[in-house]
Chain A
Amino acid sequence: MAIIERPATEPVVAPTPTPAPIVTPSEAFGTFRRPVETTGWRAWVFTVDHKKIGVMYGAAALFFFVVAGLEALLIRAQLAGPEGTVLSADVYNQMFTMHATTMIFLFAIPMAAGLANYLVPLQIGARDVAFPRINAFGFWCFLAGGIVLNLSWFLGGAADGGWFMYQPNASVPFSPTNGVDFWALGLQIAGIASLTGAINLIVTILNMRAPGMSLMRMPVFTWMILVTQFLLVFAIPVITVAFFLLTFQRSFDAAFFSPAAGADPLLWQHLFWIFGHPEVYILVLPSFGIVSEVLPVFSKKPLFGYPFVVFSGIAIGFLGWGVWAHHMFASGLGPVSVAVFATATMAIAVPTGVKIINWTLTMWGGKLRFTTAMLFAMGLVVQFTIGGLSGVTHSVAPSDTQQTDTYYIVAHFHYVLFGGSVLGFFAGFYYWWPKVFGKCLSERLGRWNFWLMIIGMNLTFGPMHILGLQGQPRRMYIWTTERSGEGFFNLGFWNLVSSIGAFILAVGVLFFLTNIVHTHRKGAPAPLDPWDARTLEWITTNPPKEHNFDRVPTVSHLDEFFHRKYEDVGEGDAHDLRAVATAEEVLAAEQAQADAQIHMPSPSYWPIVVAATLPVIALGIIYGVYIVSIVGALLMVFGIFGWAMEPGTAPDSDFDPSPVDDGGPTTELVRSE
């Protein structure tokens, strides 16, 4: 909108958003007029506001979470009883491939991107991200990639090679539909989203911190997002190469992965896992950050050993690059490689253990409040530890060789990914919902949501340890009674338990969706500081105004907001907190010194235009109609030129004359020299 607002100077006690008249660009210095709408769908589609983009990321990711969850339910329905008839072998392969791909690339990465988009600028005291239009472009790339990926369901069948798409199993002779092509190109497009988003967030975090916000005063969530984005910047190009080689193999008859032509199929495995293992930390570190925010708030204690948590996060990021071959112990790497990678893998348990200890000691002796957010955060600490321990058993190569391709692996990575990423995200949802939407999610429904999900996940994934150690292979689409064994460890019983658990889990998620609807229909406006929070994002209204902060706060402490509210009057080692200001007073003090003029970036057509050309190019390649790809590429070049010539923030000459001054919150033109 390029809103240039002058906020009211009198202290505003309650978060009452007063709509200010908006100055709109009348003409743009580019090919089209700028979009100017502030309401309706156009306000969302052409927005460059990091908060709207964050909400769109979250909504789309949640949609894909439900889709991938339904795929999981179909898998568990097929395996609930002997001789399952729900899915054919072929559709079953597509189902587990798309379940994993969707959960990882279209739920976990974008959900973290959405939370980061919304919260990182608020946590560091910035008014937007460094590259607002690239930010919008990233979101539309992710959505375009998700659509291309899932189009395959309707165009001849989805990819069926597993999310790791091992070669040559996924080459044309063994996977003749276009599914793998849609998969490779859809993820390629989603990869652009991750890469541009990562560059944007790193620059934002390094370059746009509020005065006084040194690196070691940054909230841990922002820290973990920073580490994650560095992992993305360096991991995405590797998988990009792998996807290109796969596309060349399938669409242009190259033989990069065909043993018949003398190729080495392990090339794919190396490229994939050099991306794939950092990817594991890309999935889980954002949730570690969320938990590190939630636990201190609801324990009313600072995070125990903040530098240790930060540095162990960085250590995990570094070590994560040196362990990829532990996914390949069974491929015959040779004893030296196996020993090196096994040792490195064991080492990574150390920084992870440090975090677990820090979280536990944060709660130790604190005044615990068992809100839903806190329950989910504690759930993560417990469940992730279980997953981490089974992970350590995999680092022991001889043991891993036994467990490779069994359900024991499935149990492990669901404990770390569901118990780690997903529980962390849910803690974040309940914690930040009032910040984003101005209403607290229902705690009553939240408890149902939490307990059903915890019970459901343990029933679903717990028995998989038993199934795996008994030898049930992964990706097995059917089992029979004769071969399922007898007694306590018979596979039939535990498969049934696991399936029942999956449906309990689904009911838990249903409670969450109900909670969203219920809250938005009936929920009361949230107080300004519902949780007695500690970090900068709470020194503004709920939801924040378009420009986030009336005045960019000056930071003098870690947990700045907490230090403005409380004073430590204890002596020596005794801590005795005394409230010195309410959240409303802190906000009012900030608003009293509001900036006179705030210049925000303007919305643009170009991000969605450029992103929309990518699926066109992809479809042309998949169906071999290269003229379509060429037209798409030309449109993209056109869009990039339009983008390049359009100033990010509309200049003064684009604006209508400023409206009359009515004494209230006004908008006025900035006169820049």
Chain B
Amino acid sequence: MSDAATLEAQVAHDDHGDHGGHGGNGAGHPPTTTGLSHNKLGMWLFLGSECLLFGGLISTYMLYRGRASENLGPDQIYDLPFTSVSSFVLLMSSLTMVLAVSAAGRKDVRNVKLWLTVTALLGATFVGGQVYEFTSFYREGLGFTTSLFSSSFYALTGFHGVHVSVGIIMLLAVVGMISRDRIPGDRAEVVELVGLYWHFVDIVWIVIFTLVYLIPA
């Protein structure tokens, strides 16, 4: 359900209107009290809230990581080289996202679309890797209900995967909407907001990768 909220926060981009205006001249953006746009402030609050969501899931995992059935625990099942590569791919997508935001700032539409698409492709590679990883774990006998470890592992990484997927949908939607000129409001800001979300999801993965994969159980 929180993913619905994710999109909600995203589609908010055009809600700032000029109704709060001082004088209401109808043109441009009225100055806000803090100087930050409504959308950006709203996105930061939403991401703050998301920290607690992942905090709860990570705590659950940390509590249950040792409660695995024999031979199917964290130390036996993880394929560190594989996950390291897919983590690297995801982190690189943050770089391409930065390039997209920078291009949006220069109003360079061609490069915005290019880098957003590349970001989405890198994200999709990561999600594809996760699907492959889940499938191979499942083949080895680690189902969702196999043990407390597996339930909490799939819940945590699954939630993250859903967040990345929602991010990919948003990236591609922004590309499509830019192509058809269907973005109401400030285009550069929309790209920046998607970027904030995308970086957040990457940062969460750094925490997950460290706590789940790197630290031995």
Chain A interface (Cβ within 8 Å of chain B)?
A: 4, 29, 126-128, 130-134, 137, 188-189, 191-192, 195-196, 198-200, 202-203, 206-211, 213, 233-238, 240-242, 244-245, 248, 252-256, 261-264, 267, 271, 547, 552, 595, 597-601, 610, 614, 636-637, 640-641, 643-649, 670-673
**Is B38 a contact partner of A256 (Cβ separation < 8 A)?**
no
| Contact residues in B for A245 (Cβ distance below 8 Å) | 60, 155
**Is B8 a contact partner of A134 (Cβ separation < 8 A)?**
yes
**Is B4 a contact partner of A636 (Cβ separation < 8 A)?**
yes
B211 to chain A, nearest CB (A): 16
A601 vs B8: C-alpha distance when bound (angstroms)? 17
**Is B32 a contact partner of A208 (Cβ separation < 8 A)?**
yes
**Is B24 a contact partner of A595 (Cβ separation < 8 A)?**
yes
A73 vs B15: C-alpha distance when bound (angstroms)? 44
- Which residue of the partner chain B has the closest CB to A229? B45
**Is A199 a contact partner of B22 (Cβ separation < 8 A)?**
no
In the complex with contacts A207-B33, A208-B32, A644-B53 CB distance below 8 A: no
**Is B49 a contact partner of A233 (Cβ separation < 8 A)?**
yes
* Cross-interface CB contact of B33 among A131, A198, A208, A646, cutoff 8 Å: A208
* Cross-interface CB contact of A262 among B26, B67, B173, cutoff 8 Å: B67
| Contact residues in B for A241 (Cβ distance below 8 Å) | 53, 56-57, 60
Given contact pairs A130-B15, A647-B184, enumerate 12 new A-B contacts (beta carbons under 8 Å): A127-B20, A207-B41, A237-B2, A255-B145, A255-B151, A256-B148, A264-B63, A267-B60, A271-B60, A637-B7, A648-B185, A672-B26
A207 vs B35: C-alpha distance when bound (angstroms)? 8
| Contact residues in A for B56 (Cβ distance below 8 Å) | 237-238, 240-242, 271
* Cross-interface CB contact of A614 among B4, B16, B23, cutoff 8 Å: B4
- Which residue of the partner chain B has the closest CB to A249? B151
Q: Does B209 reach chain A (CB closer than 8 Å)?
A: no
- Which residue of the partner chain B has the closest CB to A132? B15
* Cross-interface CB contact of A644 among B48, B63, B155, B173, cutoff 8 Å: B173
**Lowest 3 A-B CB distances belong to which pairs?**
A241-B56, A670-B26, A647-B184
**Is A196 a contact partner of B8 (Cβ separation < 8 A)?**
yes
A599 to chain B, nearest CB (A): 5
Q: Does B25 reach chain A (CB closer than 8 Å)?
A: yes
**Is A237 a contact partner of B11 (Cβ separation < 8 A)?**
no
Q: Does B215 reach chain A (CB closer than 8 Å)?
A: no
Q: Does B140 reach chain A (CB closer than 8 Å)?
A: no
**Is B48 a contact partner of A598 (Cβ separation < 8 A)?**
no
**Is B42 a contact partner of A261 (Cβ separation < 8 A)?**
no
**Is B145 a contact partner of A199 (Cβ separation < 8 A)?**
no
User: Which of B1, B19, B148, B151 has the largest number of chain A CB atoms within 10 A?
Assistant: B19
User: Which of A192, A211, A241, A271 has the largest number of chain B CB atoms within 10 A?
Assistant: A241
| Contact residues in B for A206 (Cβ distance below 8 Å) | 33-34, 41
In the complex with contacts A256-B60, A599-B26, A648-B184 CB distance below 8 A: yes
**Is A672 a contact partner of B14 (Cβ separation < 8 A)?**
no
A607 to chain B, nearest CB (A): 10
A24 to chain B, nearest CB (A): 17
**Is B185 a contact partner of A130 (Cβ separation < 8 A)?**
no
- Which residue of the partner chain B has the closest CB to A208? B20
A72 vs B176: C-alpha distance when bound (angstroms)? 54
**Majority SS at the chain B contact face:** helix
In the complex with contacts A192-B1, A597-B25, A199-B151 CB distance below 8 A: no
Residues of chain B at interface, number, CB under 8 A: 61
A134 vs B148: C-alpha distance when bound (angstroms)? 37
**Is A192 a contact partner of B5 (Cβ separation < 8 A)?**
yes
A243 vs B37: C-alpha distance when bound (angstroms)? 33
Q: Return 12 A-B CB contacts under 8 Å, by A number.
A: A127-B24, A130-B42, A192-B2, A237-B55, A240-B1, A244-B155, A253-B144, A256-B148, A263-B64, A263-B67, A599-B26, A645-B177
| Contact residues in B for A601 (Cβ distance below 8 Å) | 15, 17, 19
A585 vs B147: C-alpha distance when bound (angstroms)? 73
A670 to chain B, nearest CB (A): 3
A101 to chain B, nearest CB (A): 17
A267 vs B67: C-alpha distance when bound (angstroms)? 14
Q: Does B93 reach chain A (CB closer than 8 Å)?
A: no
* Cross-interface CB contact of B21 among A4, A189, A599, A637, cutoff 8 Å: A599
| Contact residues in A for B22 (Cβ distance below 8 Å) | 210-211, 552
A255 vs B17: C-alpha distance when bound (angstroms)? 47
| Contact residues in A for B144 (Cβ distance below 8 Å) | 252-254
A671 vs B25: C-alpha distance when bound (angstroms)? 9
**Is B155 a contact partner of A128 (Cβ separation < 8 A)?**
no
**Is B4 a contact partner of A236 (Cβ separation < 8 A)?**
no
**Is A595 a contact partner of B23 (Cβ separation < 8 A)?**
yes
A673 vs B155: C-alpha distance when bound (angstroms)? 50
B104 to chain A, nearest CB (A): 17
A134 to chain B, nearest CB (A): 6
- Which residue of the partner chain B has the closest CB to A671? B26
A128 vs B34: C-alpha distance when bound (angstroms)? 17
**Is B14 a contact partner of A648 (Cβ separation < 8 A)?**
yes
B180 to chain A, nearest CB (A): 9
**Is B50 a contact partner of A207 (Cβ separation < 8 A)?**
no
User: Which of A255, A647, A648 has the largest number of chain B CB atoms within 10 A?
Assistant: A648
A237 vs B49: C-alpha distance when bound (angstroms)? 6
B204 to chain A, nearest CB (A): 13
A143 to chain B, nearest CB (A): 16
A637 vs B6: C-alpha distance when bound (angstroms)? 12
A277 to chain B, nearest CB (A): 14
| Contact residues in B for A133 (Cβ distance below 8 Å) | 12, 15
**Is B20 a contact partner of A646 (Cβ separation < 8 A)?**
no
* Cross-interface CB contact of B16 among A130, A196, A271, cutoff 8 Å: A130
* Cross-interface CB contact of B151 among A211, A256, A637, A644, cutoff 8 Å: A256
A600 vs B24: C-alpha distance when bound (angstroms)? 9
A640 vs B13: C-alpha distance when bound (angstroms)? 12
**Is B53 a contact partner of A672 (Cβ separation < 8 A)?**
no
| Contact residues in B for A614 (Cβ distance below 8 Å) | 1, 4
B5 to chain A, nearest CB (A): 6
**Is B11 a contact partner of A130 (Cβ separation < 8 A)?**
no
* Cross-interface CB contact of B42 among A203, A210, A649, cutoff 8 Å: A203
**Is A254 a contact partner of B19 (Cβ separation < 8 A)?**
no
* Cross-interface CB contact of B19 among A127, A189, A213, A645, cutoff 8 Å: A127
| Contact residues in A for B34 (Cβ distance below 8 Å) | 206-207
Q: Does B139 reach chain A (CB closer than 8 Å)?
A: no
**Is B1 a contact partner of A191 (Cβ separation < 8 A)?**
yes
A594 vs B197: C-alpha distance when bound (angstroms)? 40
Q: Which of B170-185 contact A (CB under 8 A)?
A: 173, 177, 182, 184-185
A400 to chain B, nearest CB (A): 25
A208 vs B151: C-alpha distance when bound (angstroms)? 44
A126 vs B17: C-alpha distance when bound (angstroms)? 13
A596 vs B168: C-alpha distance when bound (angstroms)? 44
- Which residue of the partner chain A has the closest CB to B143? A253
In the complex with contacts A245-B60, A599-B18, A636-B4, A252-B33 CB distance below 8 A: no
**Is A600 a contact partner of B19 (Cβ separation < 8 A)?**
yes
| Contact residues in A for B14 (Cβ distance below 8 Å) | 644, 646-648
| Contact residues in B for A645 (Cβ distance below 8 Å) | 177, 182, 184
In the complex with contacts A207-B34, A256-B151, A645-B182, A238-B45 CB distance below 8 A: no
A171 to chain B, nearest CB (A): 13
| Contact residues in B for A191 (Cβ distance below 8 Å) | 1
* Cross-interface CB contact of A236 among B20, B49, B177, cutoff 8 Å: B49
A264 vs B182: C-alpha distance when bound (angstroms)? 51
| Contact residues in A for B42 (Cβ distance below 8 Å) | 130-131, 199-200, 203
B21 to chain A, nearest CB (A): 7
B112 to chain A, nearest CB (A): 17
